[in-house]
A = this chain, B = another copy of it.
Amino acid sequence: MSDINDMPGHLARRFQQIAVAVFLTEVEEAGYDLTPVQYAALVAIRANPAIDQATLAGLIAYDRTTITGVVDRLVQKGLVIRQSSSHDRRVRQLQITDEGKQTLRGITPAVEAAQRTMLRGLTAKEADELMRLLRKAIAAGNELSRAPLRGAATSEPSADRPAK
């Protein structure tokens, strides 16, 4: 265990480092300027119109304080609109713009290419297994991070959310 390359934490950092670099490269080559974090947020906003920032953070496992800056940049790029809610004035509701939708549609091939590239050293079976193991480890460690994944907190309680 004395070698750093035997430590899962170090491997996690390296893999993430490569994943981000691949994503940025593919996306830039496609003519877009969007980070992995911004992409995930934009996808979630499109799928959940009028979502508030705290719920969004839970959906994609971001820290609440990080989401502020991410949304700031999406708003600045004209991909998202942030407006106050009339029901609860603490809340900022998020909406994707037409330009945001267009960006998502155009960027999809590059994003999918990136996912393939970062696994290019593995066979299809190995890639599936890696993702299965990552999902399993993440599920077991979800509550250990400050920004755990939270199922959508709509009016009706989600059934597949682990008991808290």
The answer to whether residues A126 and B115 also contact, given A60-B4, A149-B14 and a CB cut-off of 8 A, is no
Which residues between 117 and 148 of chain A lie within 8 Å of chain B, taking CB atoms? 117-122, 126-127, 129-131, 133-142, 144-147
Q: Check: A153 CB closer than 8 A to any chain B CB.
A: no
Question: How distant is the Cα of A142 from the Cα of B19 in the complex, in angstroms?
Answer: 10
Question: How distant is the Cα of A120 from the Cα of B141 in the complex, in angstroms?
Answer: 8
**Chain A interface bracket (under 10, 10 to 19, 20 to 34, 35 or more):** 35 or more
The answer to whether residues A130 and B23 also contact, given A15-B137, A137-B118, A144-B117 and a CB cut-off of 8 A, is no
Q: How far is the CB of A36 from chain B (nearest CB, A)?
A: 6
Question: How distant is the Cα of A36 from the Cα of B7 in the complex, in angstroms?
Answer: 11
Q: Is the CB of A18 within 8 A of B122?
A: no
Residues of B within 8 A of A17 (CB): 61, 145, 147
Q: Check: A12 CB closer than 8 A to any chain B CB.
A: yes
Residues of B within 8 A of A7 (CB): 111, 115
Residues of B within 8 A of A60 (CB): 4, 10
Q: Is the CB of B4 within 8 A of A40?
A: yes
Q: Check: A30 CB closer than 8 A to any chain B CB.
A: no
Q: Check: A6 CB closer than 8 A to any chain B CB.
A: yes
Question: How distant is the Cα of A119 from the Cα of B37 in the complex, in angstroms?
Answer: 24
Q: Is the CB of B23 within 8 A of A112?
A: no
Closest Cβ neighbor of A145 among chain B residues:
B21
Q: Which of B122, B129, B131, B136 contacts A140 (CB 8 A)?
A: B122
Q: Which of B19, B44, B142 contacts A8 (CB 8 A)?
A: B19
The answer to whether residues A129 and B133 also contact, given A9-B19, A115-B1 and a CB cut-off of 8 A, is yes
